[in-house]
Amino acid sequence: MVWVPLQKSRTDSIALLQQTNRNLVNMFIEWFTDWDLTLDQMKNLVLASLQALRDCDVTAVTTFACTLALFVWYCYHVGSEQPRNYAPVNAMMQSADVNGLQNGYMYCQSANCVRCTHNEGRSQKLYHNLQEYAKHYSWSGMGRIHKGIREQSRYLNNRSSIQKPEVFFLPDLPTTPYFSRDAQKHDVELLERNYQAILAEFELIFKAFSNCSLPQGWKVNSTPRGEWFTFYLVNQGICISNNCRRCPRTYRLLGSLRTFISNNVFGNACFSVMSPETLITEHYGPTNVRIRCHLGLKVPSNCELVVGGEPQCWAEGRCLLFDDSFLHTAFHGGPSEEGPRVVFMIDLWHPNVAATERQALDFIFSPGR
């Protein structure tokens, strides 16, 4: 594009230049008194200065130089600001030990536990993370997440007692206690095809119980009755390297799952073992953005999972999918000679969480953030 000056009389040109000068001076004074000028206003001022520069106005040249210097100062000032300090999300997710028993659902009353601290600090932390994500990527597709963070207190406090995620509720997701196998068909079929390999590795690590009451790598969870043990390969988005080395085929299988939550604190993969006569207290999971998948490895008689008041039974070599943000419990009422109930537990994405939302949630709830 070539700029061609319009033919005007000398008197008109002088009047126009004087008017331009007055406008620029007024804009400059307004900007100088208000340091919170937006970037859009800054752009308009620069463009006006450039236009006056084309008219060979000495005052405009001076104004443009001052504007440029102030813009450089503004960029330096913004860039040198120290970020606010927030507690990492995964630190807030960690539950304190209760009487020496690590517990995934009882309230620990820790000030840093995101599941036990119901205050505005959590929403501020999440909104800060969302802003950071949008700054690096985009606000596009963030409507539900933004709405969920903005209205978290209403969603978490006013929901019915049947579904009440303790950390984050994403609005407008289809809700049901159980999901069909087709919800994540690829991953379900892949897990079931590898049932024998997963079971074989479980039996190897479970043999250690013959030598001690709690072998290395195992966790014991608090229950009102009986014993409930877990062996994590991934715990709240963090790979437990020593455990993964003991189950190499199962760990490699996780990398082949398309919807496994591996990059944020809502993702877990573990062997879950309930001894006979065990009851797990009713509790809620932290979020509704995931589906919890149980692959049955050893299922004695009289074992049951109850989600949202609906009972279901496990089956060996078959996956059972449910939304653990619903109130749920499990029990093993079978005889001791039948042994423990064993499932391989994996957290998968809810099928109605979009790819852009998954990426944002990975960023917002990434371990260590």
pLDDT tens digits for range 143-152: 999 999 988 8
The residue ranges of DSSP E strands in the chain, in sequence order, are 178-179, 218-221, 228-235, 238-239, 269-274, 278-283, 290-298, 303-307, 310-312, 319-322, 328-332, 341-349
Q: Does residue 155 fall inside a structural domain? A: no
Q: Are residues 186 and 43 in the same domain?
A: no
Q: Are residues 312 and 198 in the same domain?
A: yes
pLDDT tens digits for range 24-78: 556 545 544 454 445 566 667 667 666 665 665 667 667 777 888 877 766 655 4
Give the end of a domain, one of 79, 104, 127: 79
56 vs 233, higher pLDDT: 233
Does 91 score more than 50 pLDDT? no
Q: How far is CA 46 from CA 4, 6, 42, 70, 291, in A?
A: 20, 22, 6, 11, 52
Does 94 score more than 60 pLDDT? no
Q: Are residues 183 and 299 in the same domain?
A: yes
Contacts of 349 (CB under 8 A, 6+ apart): 184, 259, 261, 289, 290, 291, 358
The pLDDT of residue 95: 39
Q: Are residues 75 and 182 in the same domain?
A: no
Contacts of 247 (CB under 8 A, 6+ apart): 201, 202, 205, 233
d(CA 278, CA 333): 7
Q: Are residues 352 and 226 in the same domain?
A: yes
Give the end of a domain, one of 47, 79, 111: 79
Q: Does residue 279 fall inside a structural domain? A: yes
pLDDT tens digits for range 98-131: 333 333 333 444 444 444 445 567 888 899 999 9
Q: Are residues 214 and 74 in the same domain?
A: no
Q: How many domains does the chain have?
A: 2
Which residue segment(s) compose the domain that 330 sits in?
178-357
pLDDT tens digits for range 148-172: 998 887 777 777 789 999 899 999 9
Strand order in the sheet with 328-332: 278-283, 328-332, 303-307, 310-312
Q: What CATH number did the domain enclosing 217 receive?
A: 2.60.120.330
Write down the pTM of the prediction.
0.71
The pLDDT of residue 43: 65
The pLDDT of residue 113: 45
Q: Does residue 118 fall inside a structural domain? A: no
d(CA 355, CA 335): 45
What mean pLDDT comes out for the span 183-196? Answer: 97
Q: How does residue 212 score in pLDDT terms, banded at 50, 70 and 90?
A: confident
Q: Does residue 323 fall inside a structural domain? A: yes
The pLDDT of residue 369: 74
Containing H/E element for 163?
none
